[in-house]
Structure 1
Amino acid sequence: MSNKKGLISLAFGGLAIGMTEFTMMGILPDIAKDVNIDIPTASNLIGLYALGVVVGAPILVAATSKYPAKKVLLFLMLLFFVFNAVFTFAPNPWSLFTSRFISGLPHGAFFGIGSVVASKLAKPGKEAQAISLMFTGMTIANLAGVPLGTYIGHHFDWRITYGVISLLGLLTFLTIYLWMPVFPADKSNNIVKQIGYFKRWDAWLMIAIISIGTGGLFAWISYISKLVTTVSGLSEDSVSIIMILIGAGMCVGNLLGGKVADTLSPTKAAISCFLAMATCLLVLFFIAHITVLAYPMAFITGMIAFSIAPSLQMMLINNAKGAETFAASAGQAAFNIGNSIGAYLGAIPIIYGFTYNYPSLVGVVMASIGAILTYIFYIKVESKESSTEVNTEILQKA
């Protein structure tokens, strides 16, 4: 039972982090108005958080590698709680920007260390499902937390929303303290050993897989509001329903993805999920103008797109013996890079006057490249490792 409670505490962290990252998109105008800045300036709050994730993931994991995982997770959520609280009460743009950047630092490290801890809490053969349970918190954030936080920000005060998010960080801190088992620190870990992960070509291949492949999701979802209102013909009031359906799809896809990864193997599951994402986005491109199909396609696309998460985390952990937490956290940084690349490339057809279903074609290309790169990983890395293990077993028997 304690193992299940430990996983639930990680899910609380996923909920808090998911809300702090994605609620910003919905209440940006409210923040801009409150502190008297324009929307383009306020949008830096999104970029600064992503920058915090990219910077914080490798640095915090490397710096805390000799400490027990439970203590590190407590430190990360304390950092999250404090600086989201500072952000909540920030009186001016400078303090908003600074606290927003720092609040992004624990994101990648939490999911990186949390992924490794979740795999240790799991029963043998159920590791990917355990990781998917942690990410369930983030999918619930998209399903319920973000719409609720956006509503509160619009109709009451955005600071209430981020005050609640900060308290969720405190709740996560308390549940980790009470429920998380203590795993002894790996004394053999050191900064040089962790950073050495980046000396391997297959590490960079994994980063490319995540940055490019998951960018397909963001090429689509970054322009979902305009897609459903200008192409599908829905009203602006329907956008919130579409977002809830996407969040529900992500919840289902995340849990389903964990089961598929444990059944097929993480790499085979990742290839399948990338190909399914590319196919779904291609279908969406051609049928986006059919209004009645906008609702089921929002759920289906969200489900397929997020089913990839557990597979990629397990690939990172399995491929980084001795630097598992560092690799898993670097994967979160790569995911945020994919966020930026997908949104940027998805904007190109819009700039040239094409309709808002064309970013989905960009997503098709990115997801397809993700599948190809994952297949290369399977052939060059995983098959080679399997062959080496078989040869070693033959020699031992001989």
Structure 2
Amino acid sequence: MNQQSANTEKANILIVDDKLDNLRVLSTILTTQGYQVRKALNGQMALIACQTQAPDLILLDINMPDMSGYKVCQHLKSDSQTSEIPIIFISVLDDVIDKVKGMKLGGVDYITKPFQCEEVLARVHNQLVIKNLQNQLQATNSKLLEQNSILRSEIAKRRQVEEALRQANQQLQDLVWSDSLTQVANRRYLDDYLQREWQRSARDKISLAFVLCDIDYFKYYNDTYGHIAGDNCLKQVAHGIQNAVRRPADLVARYGGEEFAVILPNTTLSGAIRVVENIQMYIRDLKIPHRNSPISQYLTLSIGIAAIMPHHQYSPENLIAASDKALYQAKEKGRNLFCAYTAPLQNALVEHNSEEGNIQCGLENMYAFSERQQNVE
């Protein structure tokens, strides 16, 4: 005996008929097959029996006093607790109209009297099998819904964990790549970013500019105001440069000590000069007092600029060295101004690493924009 047959034989069946002989005959037929049988002599008793314990199947007579089988079916189908119980009408009415009416009211089958035992058992068995399969399908759907709910919950938890991990990684990356004092990029990130932008600029054949900014007489500032004030000054300068450099691809970094560097992708020398003028304006507007500065009552910057279209004969070190030489020239010319290096970049690397006797090589191509020197009252 398979599981399906075992489940149907244990089914609870309610027989509703006002004729005692019909009740006895149907009860005997079904009980002999292992079904659990309950009996009701009228519609009201049937409704009470269904409310007390819902049967798996109802055999329902139509012609009954006080409440017809049709009315009983309507009551059962209108109640959410009993609406899913399958109903087989069993009646002497054999007209098509009666059968169609029963089906429209919610009946699943129709047996005409006098009935044959084999027909009753076959129709009962079929409806119980269908009901059992429906129950299994509902159970499976409920289980799937529960599993889907659990899965969605697990996915949401995983996303929360991933987001927390992403934020933790971002914080860790910020610690690795950011300067702890000024919160701009540190030297390590600057070197990495410059290498990547150098390669990209070489591939795309576009200009790359590098700017070095140095706070004038910063030692005097620390000696005058103290190192805590000096740290605060570095933060203000970093913030001012960051505000002046507005494109997302541009990078501001602390180069070391009181020096800051700016990488300007896809920027020519003239474009870099405009950015530097903007930096000078922001620093001037900060009006950071520097009473012991030999050149101004406010803090100032000296700036060196270099730009080149990267090529295999050059390297990022050439670009840094060129901007460093421009910065040196700005300091030599009195500070509080910027200079731009226009000589071939390989000269800058030679000069950067050569003896003092060769340090002036190529400086005739260094242009100092002294006409832009700040004249602070």
Larger RCO of the pair (alpha carbons < 8 Å, separation 6+): 1
TM-score tier, shorter chain, comes to under 0.3
Q: Which has the larger radius of gyration?
A: 2
TM-score, normalised with respect to structure 2: 0.27
* Structure number having the greater strand percentage: 2
Structure with more of its chain in helix, by fraction? 1
